[in-house]
Amino acid sequence: MEDIKSIVAKNITELRLLNNMTQMELAEKLNYSDKTISKWERAESTPDISVLVEIAGLFGVTLDFLVKSENIEEVVVEHKEKETKYNRRAIAYISESVGWIVAIFAFIITTLILKETTFQWLYFVYALPVVLIVKLVFNSVWFNPRHNYFIISALMWSLLAAIHITFLYFGISVALIYLLGVAGQIVIMMWSFIKKPKMK
């Protein structure tokens, strides 16, 4: 069994590396020299209990964690999972915003070139279903598939609204099209209650 000095040394080293920190940077945060950090990491000496508490707070772990040898991999995995989730959310939000950016760009160009036209605002009506389709794809691949029911509902109603508004622009009322939405919503709700059988 590893002695406490070796365990603390290993955990400090791995936590420091996990947080992309040099010995000098850690030393500055703790008001110690980098030589002292080096001694701790080589298990030549061990920090006082008050310093261990400070190190635990700095890295967001418990004091108990610092003196145990089996948990470091879990923290590394958890850290990577949080980072991956954050990156995926950023990618999804950027991708969704592209639809609105394209709509704004098209609106500006059309307004500048075709000054007599008045249909430019329809770009934003059509952008919403496109953004929801992108959201549905990313949610299906990376996030919680149970949220797909809400996204599909919003997508269906936005498509129906886009059709209705487009016809209204040409002076034709197709308000009855929303009856399709009611039927579609019932199907989506029933579909959401269907549970997949558990694999034995």
**Residues 171-185: tens digit of each pLDDT:** 888 888 999 999 999
Mean pLDDT over 78-103 rounds to: 81
pLDDT of 1: 41
Record the tokens describing residue 167, joined without a space.
């016809």
CA distance 184 to 178: 9
3-12, 123-132, 143-152: which is most confident: 123-132
CA distance 187 to 198: 23
Rg of the Cα trace of the chain? 28
Q: Where are the domains of the chain?
A: 4-70, 74-193
Q: Is the dihedral of CA 125, 127, 130, 136 positive or negative?
A: negative
User: Quick check: 71 pLDDT over 60?
Assistant: no
pLDDT of 76: 57
Question: What are the backbone dihedrals phi and psi of residue 108, each rounded to the nearest 5 degrees, phi first?
Answer: -65, -50
Classify residue 143 by its DSSP letter.
S
Mean pLDDT over 99-110 rounds to: 92
pLDDT of 81: 62
pLDDT of 73: 56
- pLDDT band for 169, please (50, 70, 90 cuts): confident
User: Quick check: 29 pLDDT over 70?
Assistant: yes
CB atoms within 10 A of CB 43: 18
User: Quick check: 104 pLDDT over 90?
Assistant: yes
Among residues of the chain, what percentage have pLDDT more than 90? 43
Mean pLDDT over 39-53 rounds to: 91
pLDDT of 42: 92
User: Quick check: 77 pLDDT over 70?
Assistant: no
User: Quick check: 116 pLDDT over 70?
Assistant: yes
Pick the CATH number of 4-70 from 1.10.10.10, 1.10.260.40, 3.90.1300.10, 3.30.160.340: 1.10.260.40
